[in-house]
Amino acid sequence: MEDVEIFEQLFRNDNQVVGKVAIIRGGLNTDNPTGLLNLAVSQYVENTGYNEFVEIFLDNPWVRVVMSGINEINFKKFENQKLSNLNEN
């Protein structure tokens, strides 16, 4: 799909792939980026169950975050982790 880019990262639990996150970006040069990204997400997920996250104020229609396997991820207790701490697991 022209003018659409994607970044993908697998979710693993003990070396077993349980899901994936994808950041889909595009439509920067179109009149309808929302429609373009709706189509891109639809083509990407096909018939797979997924969660989709859109920027809360809807003022960034050029980016979508799509996830699969969110219920299979091993979560840990929140103990003041920071987004800026890139070396923490």
Res 1: pLDDT:
76
24: CB partners within 8 A, 6+ apart: 4, 5, 6, 37, 40, 41, 44, 63, 64, 65, 66
Average pLDDT, the chain: 92
Res 87: pLDDT:
83
| Residue 67 banded pLDDT, cuts 50, 70, 90 | very high
Res 89: pLDDT:
61
Share of the chain above pLDDT 90, in %: 74
Res 88: pLDDT:
67
Q: Which H/E stretch holds residue 6? A: strand 4-13
63: CB partners within 8 A, 6+ apart: 23, 24, 25, 37, 55
